[in-house]
Homo-oligomer: A and B are copies of this chain.
Amino acid sequence: MTDSRPRRRSERARVAILEATNVLLHDHGLENLSIEEIAATAGVGKQTIYRWWPTRPALVADALLHRDDLAPLLPKDTGDVVKDLSRWAGGLAESLGSDRGAATLRMLTAAATEHPEISRRLHERFSGPLQETAYERLSAAKEIKATPAQRRHAVDAIIGGMVYKVLSHQKLTRAGAAETVRIVLRGLGASV
């Protein structure tokens, strides 16, 4: 992991490009995003973009990673797994269920679909931490007797259920997400 970069990269340009990308992503959508307009908006030469990002999806991924309003919502630990995960899923549902949240989730999905490497980076930052902490919270609960694989499946069912509802334009509510958590946890042997 040797950092072989004696290069004098302009931080000002880098940030301007990422922020311009996010603005135009929000205004015109992923489909109508043009490098020319990003450069013009950021007050930057096109070459400066092509110098540092190999492809458009790579730039989009970096722009999404640069957003500071997308910190993943993580479950608390009060000792009551069912309550903790229900509240966590409820909050997540409220966030992803809003117009803005749903639009962002669809954009993340579309960007991830374009390139496996982009998918990996976005997952590492967004859905990964969600999965991991929910899994750990589940593993710490004494009342749940399940194999690690079963816990993984349970977490995926909860998160996947929400993602699926958004992608298929179904309603995603706080109450519905909490209900899903209750069903899945009961299936893992928790008393609900």
Does more than half of chain A's interface fall in helix, strand or loop, or is it mixed? Answer: helix
Known: A109-B113, A123-B169. A182 touches B187 (CB 8 A): yes
Structural contact, B176 and A183, CB atoms closer than 8 A: no
| Least CB distance, A41 to chain B, in whole angstroms | 23
| Residue total for A at the interface (Cβ-Cβ under 8 A) | 41
- A109 proximity list for chain B (CB < 8 A): 109-110, 113, 167
Interface-facing stretch out of A42-50, A58-66, A156-164: A156-164
Closest to A131 in B: B168
Structural contact, A149 and B176, CB atoms closer than 8 A: yes
- A113 proximity list for chain B (CB < 8 A): 106-107, 109-110, 113, 167
Q: A119 CA to B179 CA in the complex, in Å?
A: 26
Q: Is A153 an interface residue (CB 8 A)?
A: yes
Closest to A107 in B: B113
Q: A178 CA to B153 CA in the complex, in Å?
A: 10
Structural contact, B156 and A170, CB atoms closer than 8 A: yes
Structural contact, A159 and B169, CB atoms closer than 8 A: no
Structural contact, A183 and B187, CB atoms closer than 8 A: yes
> Out of B112, B116, B184, which one reaches A183, CB within 8 Å?
B184
- Ordered by A's residue number, 11 sampled pairs between the chains whose C-beta atoms are within 8 Å are A106-B113, A109-B110, A109-B167, A119-B167, A120-B169, A127-B168, A157-B158, A160-B161, A182-B187, A183-B187, A187-B187
Q: A110-B110, A156-B170 are in contact. List 8 more A-B contacts (CB 8 A).
A: A31-B114, A109-B167, A112-B167, A119-B169, A149-B179, A157-B184, A159-B164, A186-B186
